[in-house]
Amino acid sequence: MEALGGYPVKSSAPKVKRLTVLLSMTVGVGCLFLLQTQLLKPQKPVDFYSFEVKDAKGKTVSLEKYRGKASLVVNVASHSEQTEAAYGSLQELHRELGTSHFNVLAFPCGQFGDTEPGTSSYIEAFAKSTYGVTFPFFGKIRIMGSETEPAFKFLTDSVQKIPKWNFWKFLVNPEGKVVRFWRADEPMESVRQEVAALVREIIVKKRAEL
């Protein structure tokens, strides 16, 4: 290639090509570094207590406060045929075993007919005023479909079962893992025995650590 006057002009194409290759290599190395960093970064273990949920007033709360205790997580409803008996037995268990090592955690769900039509705050107030319950209530959730509450999905994924009705019960150990579940029609005495045994384990372990 010649410029005006007959002097040759050196082509810039090889230089541009080298710069392009160098830039591609730099980007590639950067991507590999980021990928390696993510792979080597410690991943926070996922368990029930690692989730955040809404309480009955709509405030975001962490379930981390229940770590180290046994939790009986229940999908509750205000107007089910089982409501009165279920709330009575759950409150008795909550009171009997105390909150130092155990809690019933109630998650209202309105996906089973018209058994839970109210708002979260109404549901909590109704349960406390009508049945005298003192265990924690959380915001109304969905436990089926694409909008399933992540914390509850962890429970159902753990046991590979999705509740077919109200008052299914999931027993979560102090480390946040599901160790047992019960359908609504299973006897409460079985639940009480399993929960009490887990609470005894927690107490013995804590005493041994003193």
For the chain, give every domain's residue range: 1-43, 48-209
Q: Which CATH topology does 48-209 take?
A: Glutaredoxin (3.40.30)
pLDDT in tens, the chain (210 residues): 544 455 454 555 555 556 555 555 554 554 454 445 454 444 666 999 999 999 999 999 999 999 999 999 999 999 999 999 999 999 999 999 989 999 999 999 999 999 999 999 999 999 999 999 999 999 999 999 999 999 999 999 999 999 999 999 999 999 999 999 999 999 999 999 999 999 999 999 999 988
Query: What are the tokens at 132?
Result: 């005298």
Q: CA-to-CA distance for 121 and 55, rounded, in angstroms?
A: 9
pTM (whole model) above 0.75: yes
Which residue type is seen at 69?
A: K
Give Cβ neighbours of residue 145 (< 8 Å, ≥ 6 apart).
111
**What does 156-172 look like in DSSP terms, one character per residue?**
HHHHT---SSS--EEEE
